[in-house]
């Protein structure tokens, strides 16, 4: 699949990398599995760039429309899991 990640042009290169890494972690959870610790590290870096819940929802909705992957489902699975668990879409 080819689609564009939702990014904002006022972000620094490092911030763009952190946001893209989060969306790639969501993709990985859908396509295979991802370790909870790795996913949560990507999510925390994402939240440093996007601290607002409203903006997070907007970006995740844009990502879902482009990719079909739902961020919320993976974030919830990760928060409900324990360290050492593998996260995947259910």
35-88 confidence digits (pLDDT tens): 999 999 999 999 999 999 999 999 999 999 999 999 999 999 999 999 899 999
Provide the H-helix boundaries in the chain. 13-31, 36-49, 53-67, 71-80
Q: What is the pLDDT of residue 45?
A: 98
Determine the average pLDDT of the residues in 2-30: 96
User: 59, 79, 82: which is closest to 70 by C-alpha?
Assistant: 59
Residue 1 confidence (pLDDT) above 80: no
pLDDT band at 90 (very low <50, low <70, confident <90, very high): confident
Q: Is 32 helix (H, G, I), strand (E, B) or coil?
A: coil
The model's pTM is: 0.94
CATH 1.10.220.80 fits 13-87, yes or no: yes
Tokens of 5: 């990640």
- 81: DSSP letter: S
């Amino acid at each position: 699949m080819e689609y564009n990640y939702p990014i904002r042009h006022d972000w620094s290169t490092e911030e763009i990398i952190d946001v893209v890494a989060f969306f790639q972690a969501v993709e990985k959870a859908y396509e295979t599995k991802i370790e909870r610790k790795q996913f949560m590290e990507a999510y925390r870096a994402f939240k440093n760039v996007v601290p607002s819940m409203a903006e997070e929802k907007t970006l995740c909705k844009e990502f879902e429309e482009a990719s079909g992957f739902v961020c919320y489902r993976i974030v919830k699975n990760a928060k409900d899991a324990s360290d050492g668990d593998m996260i995947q879409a259910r």
